[in-house]
Chains A and B, each alone.
Chain A
Amino acid sequence: MKASKDHGNFFTSNFGLSNDPIPIEPYFSSEWFKREREKVFKRSWVCVGREENIGEPGDYLVRDIPILNASALVTRAADRKVRAFYNVCQHRGNLVAQTACGHKRSRFTCNFHGWSYDLHGRLVQVPDEKVFYNIDRDQHALKPLHCGVWNGFIFVSPDPARPLEEEFADLGKLVDGYDFALPVVGSYTAEVKGNWKVFLDAFQEAYHVIALHATTVRPTFAGSDNPFAHLTSARIFDRNRSISVYGNPDHRMRPSETLAFKLGVASTYTPDMEKNAALSAAGLNPEGDKNWAFDINIMFPNMELLMGVGWYAQMQFWPVAPDHTHYEVRIYMKAPRDAGDAISQEFNKVMLYDVLLEDLYTIENTQAVLKARADGNFIFGDHEVACRHNYEVVSQMVETRS
């Protein structure tokens, strides 16, 4: 049988990926984790917030990045430029900013001995400066992190392999026209005993929908013409990737969902298929797939944007240890104008919460037994192509010299 989207290794071979089983060791090994720190995370861009979080000059935010053993301080100065620094005093290493965020700051004064830095990171005051033997203030500015903004998302990197614009250029084209400047209407976090790749993998395939989510969202994302929740399309852009998830047009709407959709947005409801082609102009459904539900755009290494009509969700998978990930998800929607909007949004929040309980449970159950199978393999099918691609990208980076 010829490979088509519904048979064989259609995506996998189109993207030039192998069919080989994938070794399990990278998903628990501390050796590998150390190399991921050096070769992957230090050379990549990670998102630390949205521009709206620091909209005005004097606004700042602080963000812990456990895998870099770093805290990032992100500021907006009077020139409106966003800058990022290691949140570390150049005197004796104390944290310069201690609160998660703040406004109307012109300088940060370290509370250990009182050295002060401005929003550009410049050292502007040293108490009792004369005892420091002609200190050269320029030499003691806050250590900068590379910093850039992509569609309103602020990214930082210690030593990027590529400029931000280049790294996410293709994804940028794909989502061009989408309005990301929405408020967060719901947010969940968890500390989970799972490797960050095990975690991410559970959120970049829909093969598990029919089993794991059998009682929750299976009728929404699998149907008689697509019983296994096949992806409607998939794309790879170098290290990044994008998949489109099927929506079952025949799924029976229950009262709560009908209400949610009528009043606002129901993320389970598949939009009118006739209109799908037009969505691509708005940064959605890039291939004009029939029976499309939403896109998952995975921004290497640890973030993804799930994007549908009237909503998007940002997920971040922060590696803490080989078997520990800090997880965050934020749901973005228009601020509710009336009770109907609020109730409609509640539907989406509640639904996602239940589904996440199922996913996270499984991630821990998966991690629990991996070490005992150190010599074993994972087997990725064609519709888990994104998991395979992630492994290939990570292992290539981990295994390069220098």
Chain B
Amino acid sequence: MRLFSDTYTDLKPGTVPIEPYYSEDYYRREQQRVFRGQWLMVGRVEQLAQPGDYFNKDLAVLESSVFVMRGDDGKLRAFHNSCRHRGNRVLAKSCGKLGKAFTCGFHGWTYDLSGSLIRVPDEECFTDLHKDELGLRGLACDTWNGFIFINTDPRPRESLTAFIGKEMDAQVAGFPFAGMELAATYEVELGANWKFLAEAYQEAYHVIAVHKDTVADRGTVSRWEVERRAALRGEAPPALPDDPTPGHHFSSVRLFDRHRSMSVFGKPKSDHQLPPAIDLCARFAPSPTRSDYGGLNTHKDASWGADLHFLFPNTELLMVTPTWYLQLGFWPVNAQRSRMEVNFYRQPPRTAGELLAMEYFEANFRDIVREDVAALEPAQAMFRSGATSGLWLSDQEIPARHSFEVIDRHVRAD
């Protein structure tokens, strides 16, 4: 059944070529065209609450290490973390708080919070040294809903607002991002191309197989189990009356120019018997009222479970309730390696029950990530073998296809 392909007819059916998933050459072009000069999400404003706060981000894909800092004037600025003297990393710690200035550890050149060079030890022994031209090399930096984005182009072709676009902005309008705290971060580095990794988080087709144990409380799996058992008995599966799209897992999909949003089907939870821990969560989790659901299920799907919002090229928001959300970053390390970052944000829990519920969600998602990652490396290892010439994508995987097409369009642009 084709739910989405008929809407998005620009996307060609058939296979997605496999070479872009391992080629060094393709990767170099991605570095140039998909990452350099594009807006990339690197953190949240809460990390940099006060003047002098900074964090560092090693970005292999940019062959750089970049830091973002809040200046005396309250402005956020981003810089290549490389001293103008002889290139040493100026800020060596992963994050911290600075006073009025900071000093390179190699020879002691000192910069102020706006990145200007203010002191050179033994300055007299440099000839034709113009301190005013030797500020740290900056990147563009801006925020959207409290998310910090950088762009290697100090004067980007497109503003962050234009980049996000009205449609994407509308998807999450009203979501209470600002009141959340970062409760946990997972990082995993694995031997899989970054697109392959990111695509695993833009389709729900694999949920029934890969996550059959972990996502048991969301409904789709029980549907799959019913079908599987029926098939084993040689019977036709019984129809489930409350599943509007039997066998399918996205209730709706919206493809924009570069970004995309997907909503995942969710089965009303009254239907099945909850195990004790989940039952505990259901009872004690902060229970938002209907009106709190601003920025969620904007498409108003009838059996709605969660939203996925993917921002080109490598960031995703996974939103389930107004009380917590996940942010995922898919960072290339090289053509066949990536690093995934998962940040779990939540409303500060007010009771022990709320804390326990959040703890469960967080732990559960960690298991889900492990299942995803375990499936990817063996597949990547076969890409070069010639055993597969392309990736078959179904109608339900149309966001993954869109993801590839958008990247490929950039790679091929002149």
Contact = CB atoms under 8 A, between A and B. Distances in A.
A371 interface: yes
Interface in B55-83: 58, 62-65, 80-82
Contacts of B121: 207, 210-211, 228
Nearest to A375: B137
A373 B84 CA distance: 10
B129 interface: yes
A58 B88 CA distance: 48
B104 A211 contact: yes
Contacts of A372: 62-65, 80, 82, 152
Contact of A379 (B104, B108, B126, B137): B126
B125 A365 contact: no
Given A211-B104, A369-B64, 8 more contacts: A19-B127, A208-B106, A211-B106, A211-B121, A212-B105, A362-B105, A372-B152, A376-B82
A211 B121 CA distance: 9
A370 B137 CA distance: 12
B349 to A, nearest CB: 39
B122 A381 contact: yes
A379 B109 CA distance: 12
Contacts of B64: 369, 371-373
Interface residues of B, number: 32
Interface stretch (A7-15, A142-150, A282-290): A7-15
B258 interface: no
Interface string B199-219: 000000000000000000000
A378 B86 CA distance: 5
A35 B121 CA distance: 35
B252 interface: no
B87 A378 contact: yes
Contact of B127 (A207, A212, A382): A382
B85 interface: yes
Contacts of A373: 64, 80, 82, 87, 137
A211 to B, nearest CB: 4
A198 B62 CA distance: 21
A211 B108 contact: yes
Contacts of A321: none
B89 interface: yes
Interface string A238-272: 00000000000000000000000000000000000
Given A210-B108, A362-B106, A365-B89, A370 B82 contact: yes
B107 interface: yes
A367 B86 CA distance: 10
Contacts of A208: 106-107
B281 interface: no
Pairs of residues from A and B, 8 with the lowest C-beta to C-beta distance, nearest first: A372-B64, A211-B108, A371-B63, A369-B82, A228-B122, A365-B89, A382-B125, A19-B127
B235 interface: no
Contacts of B58: 368
A24 interface: yes
B124 interface: yes
Interface in A215-252: 227-228, 230
A212 B82 contact: no
B92 A365 contact: yes
Contact of A212 (B81, B106, B125): B106
29 contacts: A1-B124, A6-B125, A7-B125, A19-B127, A27-B87, A207-B121, A207-B122, A210-B107, A210-B108, A228-B121, A362-B88, A365-B88, A365-B92, A366-B87, A366-B88, A368-B58, A369-B64, A369-B82, A370-B82, A371-B63, A372-B62, A372-B64, A372-B65, A373-B80, A378-B87, A379-B84, A379-B129, A379-B134, A383-B122
A201 interface: yes
Interface of B: 58, 62-65, 80-82, 84-89, 92, 103-108, 121-122, 124-129, 134, 137, 152
Nearest to A379: B85
A368 B56 CA distance: 13
A195 to B, nearest CB: 10
A7 B84 CA distance: 21
Nearest to A21: B128
A207 B107 contact: yes
A370 B85 CA distance: 12
B86 A201 contact: yes
B160 to A, nearest CB: 21
Interface string A168-205: 00000000000000000000000000000010010000
Contacts of A362: 88, 105-106
Interface in A321-377: 362, 365-373, 376
Contacts of A382: 125-127
A337 B81 CA distance: 50
Given A212-B106, A212-B107, A7 B124 contact: yes
B152 to A, nearest CB: 8
A366 B106 contact: yes
A24 B137 CA distance: 14
B106 A6 contact: no
Contacts of A376: 82, 84, 87, 137
Given A365-B88, A369-B87, A6 B124 contact: yes
Nearest to A370: B87
Contacts of B134: 379
A298 B385 CA distance: 49
Contacts of A378: 85-87
A372 B126 CA distance: 25
A201 B125 CA distance: 17
A125 B62 CA distance: 56
Contacts of B122: 207, 227-228, 230, 381, 383
Interface string A1-45: 100001111001000000100001001000000000000000000
Given A372-B82, A376-B137, A379-B84, A8 B125 contact: yes
Given A212-B106, A228-B121, A382-B126, A368 B137 contact: no
Contacts of B124: 1, 6-8
A12 B88 contact: no
Contacts of A27: 87
Nearest to B85: A379
A368 B65 contact: yes
A17 to B, nearest CB: 11
Contacts of A367: 87
Contacts of B85: 378-379
B31 to A, nearest CB: 10
Contacts of A8: 124-125, 127
Contacts of A383: 122, 125
Interface string A304-321: 000000000000000000
B86 A379 contact: yes
A7 B124 CA distance: 5
A321 B367 CA distance: 39
Given A201-B86, A379-B126, A379-B134, A369 B80 contact: yes
